[in-house]
A and B are shown apart, each in its own frame.
Chain A
Amino acid sequence: MTELRATTIIIGVGNESRGDDGAGTATARLLKSRITSDIAVLEQSGEGTALMDAWRGASRVILIDAVCSGVTPGTIHRVDAAATPLPRSIFPCSTHSFGLADAIEMARALHELPTQVMVYGIEGASFDEGVPLSPAVEIAIRSVADQVQKQVQMADFEDPSSST
């Protein structure tokens, strides 16, 4: 169990100056205050090569990012990305900004993807500059933090339900 924890990494992705785009990094900050073990909790912009570097060598990675798929704000999408590619309808790829979904697929092609990859997408309402997190997203952040905390406290976070 200790060995597993030592190779677990949690990465919150986003830009806090763009409203709900900061959901991933806000979740990471909340988790930093709760998780006192040696699990690394990182905040990143979502640039793909930096993500691939961050999870290189880890046996499991948990990623949290804001998404904009058109469903009710605060909805939590959960995808077991070790088993299946991220659905492009929820996590679109942007070519010039080599992002999260591209990084996961590239790492998979290069055999550099950790064995376990869980991605949480928090549906945002507003991605405008300088606006605070939406109330529904604040609630979702706490819920995702609870779920992630529970996962890392278990020796194995494999979950049969791959998506919600």
Chain B
Amino acid sequence: MKNRTIKVDYLARVEGEGGLQIKVKGNQVSEVKLRIFEPPRFFEAFLRGRHFSEAPDITARICGICPVAYQMSACHAVEDAFGAKIPAPIRSLRRLLYCGEWIESHALHIYLLHAPDFLGYEDAIRMAKDHPDAVKRGLRLKKTGNAIVNLLGGREIHPINVRVGGFYKIPAKSEFVTMGEELKWARDASLETVRWVATLPIPDFERDYEFVSLRHPDEYPFNEGRIVSNRGTDIAVREYEQHFAEEHVAHSNALHSATKDRNSYFVGPLARYSLNFDRLPSHVQDAARAAGLGAVCRNAFQGIIVRAVETLYACDEALRLIDAFEMPDRPYVDVEPRVGSGFGCTEAPRGSLYHRYRIDERGLISDAKIVPPTSQNLRTIEHDLLDLVPKNLEMQKDRLQWRCEAAVRNYDPCISCATHFLRLEIERD
């Protein structure tokens, strides 16, 4: 077989600007490059000299789809630096806000960004003409997630109601109860989503990944827990940088993360699910099994099913939290600033998001480090393509290119976050 290049100048249905180039010589892939040309945004530098209280609002601007994750990791890191203790009712409301972001982000990715790959449509708008009911369901699910973020966060995009110590203002209980009604529809719709994605023609493609995610003693993880992997990592959040490192690669404006022994690893829904299946309620486990998943999922293309399972979980958990709603005595707790470093890691829809801040005697941030999920997954995406392309060389070029793009979208990459990252080229000389 002759050599060839698969090249996608500008990858669609991912957030931000990036491309992909794959060079094939005979039956061997000689090169896979995820080229990230979205300019770096220097958020870590912007944070230096800013007051600790500004961290949640500044970092929320990194991403339009996962601002809650940035706010949560920022709050937890600052609170860690100050030794602040967050009361249970505020903690529950943070989980509820995170449920909103997962529902909104997962519904968008499942229905508008990833399902068209499996059903053979260029985009969701073309898909909507043939599958109107599915798309309407997805849009309404997304809207339910937005409504939670709107209620607790103050607005859907870049919420403004989160602060170190809690919230600026907590809505009345009656408003949560009203939202519960739509959430009951959303829970049924997300179960229908699990069944629907299970019918999609999903390629067989399993790899032996190192999965990394938070793990909590009792809960499916959002905000808290230890960082664990299926290769024995079990560390406190503050030990993250002793085990994982970022490095520059020439073809990317986004840093690539790896374990300290330079192995790629996988963060996001597959990792979370595979490391925390036992933390899902039994009826959510049943829905996952009925959709063909085991307790561990190693096929990144099945990420769409796992996202649907997580959406079901998020709707279920949001309803549970609303049921158990307890108005905090105050919307936030006062924190006592002190000199030191704080560490935060929470589970953004697309994976673990790590923040570290050093805070000086004036309460100003003297150093910041932010590691978004997409940069942790970049090397894994390249490794998936190195494995995927040789197995599919008999495919027509356009079909192979399609498959490769879908493989990238398995990760719901957020290039904008990572540069703080897609176009595809497969080259066969």
Instruction: Contacts A49-B142, A96-B65 given; indicate if A109 touches B157 (C-beta within 8 A).
Output: no
Contact bitstring A6-30, B, C-beta under 8 A = 1, else 0: 0000000001000000000000000
For A109, the closest partner residue in chain B by CB is B128
- Alpha-carbon distance A163/B108, docked complex (angstroms): 31
Which of A50, A52, A98, A109 touches B108 (beta carbons < 8 Å)?
A98
Scoring B residues 127 to 171 as 1 if CB is less than 8 Å from chain A, else 0, what string do you get?
Answer: 011001001100110110010000000011110000000000000
Chain B interface residue count, CB cutoff 8 Å, equals 29
Interface positions of B (Cβ within 8 A of A): 12-15, 63-65, 108, 112-113, 124-126, 128-129, 132, 135-136, 139-140, 142-143, 146, 155-158, 414, 416
Complex contact B155–A96 (CB within 8 A): no
Q: Which of A40-63 contact B (CB under 8 A)?
A: 45-50, 52-53
Residues of B within 8 A of A96 (CB): 14-15, 63-65, 108, 414, 416
Given A50-B146, A108-B125, 11 other A-B residues pairs in contact with their CB atoms under 8 A: A45-B155, A49-B139, A50-B156, A52-B139, A95-B14, A95-B15, A96-B64, A96-B108, A97-B64, A97-B65, A98-B112
A102 and B156: CB pair below 8 A? no
Chain A nearest Cβ from B172, distance in angstroms: 22
Q: What is the minimal beta-carbon distance from B256 to any residue of chain A, in angstroms? A: 21
Residues of the A chain whose Cβ atoms lie less than 8 Å from the Cβ of B128: 106, 109-110
Decide if A36 is an interface residue (CB 8 Å cutoff).
no
The dominant DSSP class at the B interface is helix
Count CB-based A-B contacts (< 8 Å): 61
Residues in B neighbouring A45, C-beta threshold 8 A: 155-157
Q: Which residues of A contact B64 (CB under 8 A)?
A: 94, 96-97
- What are 22 contact pairs spanning A and B, CB under 8 A? A45-B156, A46-B157, A47-B156, A49-B139, A49-B140, A49-B142, A49-B146, A50-B146, A94-B15, A94-B64, A95-B112, A96-B108, A96-B414, A97-B157, A98-B112, A106-B124, A106-B125, A106-B139, A109-B128, A109-B135, A110-B135, A110-B136
B143 touches A53 (CB 8 A): yes
CB contacts (< 8 Å) of B12 on chain A: these are 95
Q: Across chains A and B, which 10 residue pairs bring their CB atoms closest together, nearest first?
A: A96-B15, A109-B128, A96-B65, A49-B143, A97-B64, A105-B125, A47-B156, A45-B157, A109-B125, A109-B129
Could you tell me which residues of chain A, from 41 to 90, have a CB within 8 Å of some CB in chain B?
Answer: 45-50, 52-53
Of A45, A46, A108, chain B has the most CB atoms within 10 Å of the CB of A45
Give, as a whole number of angstroms, the nearest-CB distance from B56 to chain A. 15
